[in-house]
C-alpha cells in the first residue's frame, strides 16, 4: 500500500498555517520532517502525526 504524503499546500490547509510558515520551519528545522525531490517538497503523513504528537501540551508552560 502506498504511504500517504502531503504537499505543503495540503498541510498548510490542514493546519491553517501560511505556506510561508511551513517554508520557514523547513529552513530552520522546526517543522515536521519532509522529503525533498528536486524542487518538490512532500510530508509523510506519519511524520506529520509524530510532529503533532510531540506538540501536545496540557498547559502553556511545559510539555505534557
The whole domain housing 45 covers 5-54
By three-state DSSP, how is residue 34 classified? coil
15-53 pLDDT, tens digit per residue, is 999 999 999 999 999 999 999 999 999 999 999 999 999
Torsion angle of C-alpha atoms 28, 22, 40, 35, degrees rounded to 10: 60
Residue 11 lies in a domain: yes
Give Cβ neighbours of residue 17 (< 8 Å, ≥ 6 apart). none
Whole-structure pTM value: 0.86
Name the region of 20 (left: φ>0; alpha: ψ -120 to 50; beta: rest). alpha
Mean pLDDT across the chain, nearest whole number? 93
Residue 59 lies in a domain: no
Residue 47 lies in a domain: yes
pLDDT of residue 60: 85
Residue 44 lies in a domain: yes
Number of domains in the chain: 1
Give Cβ neighbours of residue 53 (< 8 Å, ≥ 6 apart). none
Amino acid at each position: 500500500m502506498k504511504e500517504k504524503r502531503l504537499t505543503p499546500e495540503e498541510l498548510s490547509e490542514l493546519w491553517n498555517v501560511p505556506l510561508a510558515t511551513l517554508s520557514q520551519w523547513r529552513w530552520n528545522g522546526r517543522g515536521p520532517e519532509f522529503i525533498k525531490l528536486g524542487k518538490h517538497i512532500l510530508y509523510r503523513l506519519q511524520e506529520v502525526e509524530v510532529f503533532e504528537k510531540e506538540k501536545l501540551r496540557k498547559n502553556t508552560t511545559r510539555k505534557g
